[in-house]
């Protein structure tokens, strides 16, 4: 019952984020939701649950992740308090409604909304009540853009989470924006919905090879989530998944009934991570399902090209 109530509370919180009254952005609280993490680079959040990033350049502003209309309107108001430069680009990392909503607010602010073609195809087939299709689509596994002398690398790493998942690298600033596939100091959400675990591991290894030092994460359970993190948190995310699988197979090798492993398995190294008592058992069930039924989701990957 405790797990069920916890999940319900999370889902209700997500619903509230999608229906946040648009008056919040007009209050002084918006100022407290912005942190300059590097010169002209800011993280933004209404309450620490969902975190966006925006970058101010000589020619305008780039936004990373629109989330929902309440969040987006508050972010636009916060940007206007930082700079009078126009908002030129609003990047969306992937297809899921809780990240890809709110685009109309950025369109109304004059921005070009941008997402991977794979994400846009899903959004078109599965319209959310707060979503609009991005204006600009890109294909392949890499696209580079530039605004005001600041370069942005868009990296699509194939299957991992959702569709069209893009990792954004600003090489001159040594900063990345990473949505969902790295969440510092938190156990994997529930049964890892819409994650391919093996492909997720591969993607995290490829992210570690990319050129950045600091990162802003869309979800972050560190004491100061707006401050972001670094490659160590990417490595810890990868380590947790590997440790989870290794512990599951260690129980199998000891002869433990697979159906009993989810309740019996413990990972004390991670007991202080958020969600440990509520989600660890569900994480183990997901490992069990993948190892006995096969990985999901899965799809054939198209041949990738650079843009």
- State the Cα angle at 191 between 186 and 194, rounded to 5°: 100
pLDDT in tens, 240-251: 999 999 999 999
Task: Look at residue 305 and tell me whether its pLDDT is greater than 90.
Answer: no
pLDDT in tens, 249-301: 999 999 999 999 999 999 999 999 999 999 999 999 999 999 999 999 999 87
How many CB atoms within 10 Å of residue 253? Answer: 8
- Strand order across the beta sheet in which 229-230 lies: 142-147, 150-156, 166-170, 175-178, 214-217, 229-230
Burial class (CB in 10 A: 0-12, 13-18, 19+), 219: buried
pLDDT of residue 301: 77
pLDDT of residue 31: 56
In angstroms, rounded to a whole number, what is the distance separating the alpha carbons of residues 265 and 252? 11
Strand partners, 216: 177
Backbone angles phi, psi at 83, to 5 degrees: -150, 155
In angstroms, rounded to a whole number, what is the distance separating the alpha carbons of residues 150 and 44? 19
Confidence of residue 4 (pLDDT cuts 50, 70, 90): very low
pLDDT of residue 32: 72
This prediction has a pTM of 0.90
The set of residues, in sequence order, having a beta carbon less than 8 Å from that of 282 and lying 6+ positions away, is 3, 190, 191, 262
pLDDT in tens, 74-122: 999 999 999 999 999 999 999 999 999 999 999 999 999 999 999 999 9
Which structure tokens are listed for 24? Answer: 């919040």
Specify the 3-state DSSP secondary structure of 53. Answer: strand
Task: Look at residue 23 and tell me whether its pLDDT is greater than 50.
Answer: no
Best CA proximity match to 174, nearest among 55, 87, 50: 55
pLDDT of residue 307: 58
In angstroms, rounded to a whole number, what is the distance separating the alpha carbons of residues 128 and 3? 27
pLDDT of residue 147: 98
pLDDT of residue 5: 41
Average pLDDT, the chain: 91
């Amino acid at each position: 019952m405790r797990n069920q109530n916890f999940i319900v509370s999370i889902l209700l919180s997500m619903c509230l984020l999608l229906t946040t009254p648009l008056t919040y952005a007009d209050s002084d609280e918006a100022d407290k939701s912005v942190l300059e993490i590097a010169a002209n680079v800011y993280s933004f959040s209404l309450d620490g649950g969902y975190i966006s990033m925006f970058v101010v350049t000589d020619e305008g502003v780039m936004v990373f992740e629109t989330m929902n209309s309440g969040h987006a309107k508050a972010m636009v108001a916060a940007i206007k308090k930082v700079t009078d430069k126009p908002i030129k680009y609003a990047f969306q990392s992937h297809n899921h409604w809780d990240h890809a909503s709110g685009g109309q607010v950025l369109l109304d602010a004059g921005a070009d909304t941008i997402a991977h073609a794979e994400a846009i195809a899903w959004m078109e087939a599965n319209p959310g009540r707060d979503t609009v299709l991005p204006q600009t689509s890109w294909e392949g596994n890499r696209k580079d853009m530039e605004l005001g002398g600041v370069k942005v690398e868009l990296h699509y790493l194939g299957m991992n989470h959702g569709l069209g998942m893009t990792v954004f690298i600003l090489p001159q600033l040594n900063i990345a924006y990473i949505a969902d596939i790295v969440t510092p100091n938190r156990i994997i959400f529930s049964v890892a919905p819409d994650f391919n675990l093996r492909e997720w591991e591969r993607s995290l290894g490829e992210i570690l090879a990319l050129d950045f030092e600091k990162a802003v994460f869309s979800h972050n359970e560190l004491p100061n989530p707006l401050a972001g993190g670094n490659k160590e948190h990417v490595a810890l995310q990868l380590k947790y998944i590997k440790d989870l699988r290794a512990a599951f197979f260690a129980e199998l090798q000891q002869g433990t009934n697979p159906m009993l492993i989810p309740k019996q398995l413990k990972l004390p190294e991670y007991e202080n991570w958020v969600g440990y008592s509520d989600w660890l058992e569900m994480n183990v069930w997901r490992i069990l399902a993948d190892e006995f039924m096969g990985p999901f989701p899965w799809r054939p990957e198209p041949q990738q090209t650079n843009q």
